[in-house]
Amino acid sequence: MDIVCNRTLSAIFSQFAAYHPDKTYLIFEDLEGHSGQWSFAQFEERVNRTARWLLAMGVKRGESFAFHAPNSPAFVALAIAASRIGAVMVPADYRATVDELSYILDHSESKLVVAEPEQLSVSEAAASAASSVQEVVLSLPMYGLGMDRAEKKSGHTIFEKEIDKQEASPPDVATGTDDVVHMLYTSGTTSKPKGVLLTNGVLIYGAEVFVRASGLRNEDRHLIALPLSHAAAQCHALWPSLVCGASIALASRFSPARFFGLAIRHGCTMAALFAAPLRMLLAQPPNESWRAHKLRNITFAIALTEEQFAEWDLRFGASLQHLWGMTETVGLPLMSPLYGPRRLKAMGRPVLGYEVKVVDAGGNDLPPGSVGQLIVRASPSRNVMKGYFKNKKATDDTIRDGWLYTGDNAFYDEDGFYYFVDRSKDMIKRAGENIAPSEVEAVIKELSGVADAAVVGIPDPMYDEVPKAFVILRE
């Protein structure tokens, strides 16, 4: 037995709903300023109604359904409801094209798609090309915002109206810790995206690890502005908040102009971001009122420059905690220490519950300072993914001999801090020499007037490959 025991995400949420029913669980605000709020007890009923609706729609234990929309209360209700009935939720990026979405729907064997009006035409076209999809359902995040008119105009049933027709008691469905409840698709560089299978157990394990490594508490309110279709928002925001009974403030989309206002309005104490949103916030005009926030800790991935870190501290005064993980690891095996110097240029040190090391091409351990592939001790369905859906070869290539091979090049120092170098597949081979794009990017980003840069390899008749830089200048 380990920290997961025999729990499910659904059961954990029910326990907190019984323990503090009147405590606020979810505050939602969209870009137009419309907002809604639910207590734990109210959202527990919403989850039950959603679970019963999924069953009524023919989604059984082990079967998949998709969500194609920005962040909303519907996403959270469907995510917990999936655990409640043992179904598999397949989130898709709300910006996905018809081709991208149709592949995901077809490959995942999703039976239905929930979409918002802005995504409806893409969802309809993608669903018609996917043999398994039986219905597209429209979601309107806020009650009373023209639902009858939208239903009549679109010709699609409305999720929020349909779940209100269901009973509020929990459905009688046997579920387990090892049930796959989410399938997140990773972007492919040389092949189609792969569906990462995530169980109740692995999501709980990663969440429990994060709670302890980040200092997340029951009384916290976590601001979630990253897209929930991505592992980052789920694994260092949504699920850790659920396992410790914290409340969440959910933004439909990230807006640099609204981020700190949201945090202040809703009394948020924790938040999850990554480097690009941090840079977007730094690009905003100075606003002294933003320092009225109560954010105690902001977790993020991908390092900034030394100059940007210094500017962040000066302007915002919100503590940053660097971390590293991937969809396949589910949890965050590396995080800055909660106490003491954080060395934010590093991804962090190994956290309790994970073991990592750096190896050469032959799988041999490398000493401090040597660059090699970062690998993570793997117990599938517990501390890493169960595998890739319908792709045994890719699963076996990634998880072997008890380790998950990440494909990330890294090194560590004498104090156990790990530093990201690059994706192994992204290395530029110039005349037989390896060039790490991230190292070239770091130099360019130090130049005055540069906001961001990306370096890639392009074919060259003389040198095989040469670096090419794409640069974004400051306003």
CA atoms within 13 A on the CB side of 143: 8
- Distance between CA 475 and CA 470 in Å, rounded? 16
Asked whether the predicted pLDDT for residue 188 surpasses 80, the reply is no
% of the chain residues with pLDDT over 90: 83
In the predicted structure, residue 411 carries a pLDDT above the cut 60: yes
| pLDDT for 428 | 82
pLDDT of residue 423: 78
Summarised one tens digit per residue, pLDDT across range 54-66 is 999 999 999 999 9
Enumerate the CATH 3.30.300.30 domain ranges in the chain, comma separated: 430-473
CA distance 234 to 327: 10
The angle at the Cα of 207, spanning 186 to 10, to the nearest 5 degrees, equals 95
Confidence of residue 33 (pLDDT cuts 50, 70, 90): confident
Is it the case that residue 145 has pLDDT exceeding 70? no
What pairing do the DSSP bridges indicate for beta strands 194-199 and 180-186?
A: antiparallel
- Return d(Cα 279, Cα 35) in angstroms, integer: 27
pLDDT-derived band at 427 (thresholds 50, 70, 90) equals: confident
Average of pLDDT values for 440-449?
89
- Count the neighbouring beta carbons within 10 Å of the beta carbon of residue 31: 11
Q: Where in the chain is the domain with CATH 3.40.50.12780?
A: 9-339+384-407
**CATH architecture of residue range(s) 430-473:** 2-Layer Sandwich (3.30)
Q: Is the pTM of this model over 0.85?
A: yes
User: What DSSP string runs through 23-48?
Assistant: SEEEEEE-TTS-EEEEEHHHHHHHHH
Provide the 3-class DSSP secondary structure of residue 383.
coil
Residue 432 pLDDT: 62
Report pLDDT digits (tens) over 312-329: 999 999 999 999 999 999
**Strands across the sheet with 64-68, in order?**
135-138, 110-115, 64-68, 88-92, 180-186, 194-199, 387-388
* Angle of CA points 76, 77, 78, to nearest 5°: 90
Query: What topology does CATH give the domain 9-339+384-407?
Result: Rossmann fold (3.40.50)
